[in-house]
Amino acid sequence: MSEDQHAPASTQSDSTSETSVTQAIPEIGKLLVMGPRLQATMLKTVIDRQRQALALLNQRTADGLKLAEAISDASSPTDALEAWTAFVQTGFKHVAEHAGEIGRQTMEALQTAQREAAATSMRRAA
């Protein structure tokens, strides 16, 4: 086959590619607008989770100091064991509360991001 017979196929392929790119441009524009908002929402969520984790760590550290004081003040091994048991139980309670709150807030952040993305998409379509 000669090169002339192959040329139309290449031209047709180029035309299809140009159409595909032209159709994709509005979608790319939507992503460019939504991307920073989604990233900002994610960053805010991550920073808030870090703040909460530090608050939990601060609480557990304070509880640990109270435990050390209770053990040193214990008049019997039973008193020391009761202080240790209370410390562990409180720790589990705090971690469970923290995990539940993280889950709730993460779902809330995802729903907010989805609503913002949908609103942005609708504004761009109009």
Separation CA 30–CA 59 (nearest Å): 43
Residue 73's pLDDT is 96
Residue spans per domain, the chain: 33-125
Are 60 and 91 within 8 A, CB to CB?
yes
Query: How do residues 73-86 score in pLDDT, each as one tens digit?
Result: 999 999 999 999 99
- What is residue 67's predicted lDDT score, i.e. its pLDDT? 96
pLDDT at 32: 65
Give the rounded distance of the alpha carbon of 103 from its chain centre.
10
Q: Which residue has the tokens 């032209």?
A: 22
In the prediction, which pLDDT does 51 show?
92
Residue found under tokens 């159709």: 23
Q: Give residue 93's pLDDT.
A: 94
Residues of the chain with pLDDT under 50: 1, 6-7
Q: Residues 77-104, buried b or exposed e (16+ Cβ, 10 A)?
A: eeebeebeeebeeebeeeeeebeeebee
**What pLDDT score does 30 carry?**
65
Angle in degrees, 0-180, between the axes of helices 77-125 and 3-73, rounded to the nearest 10: 150
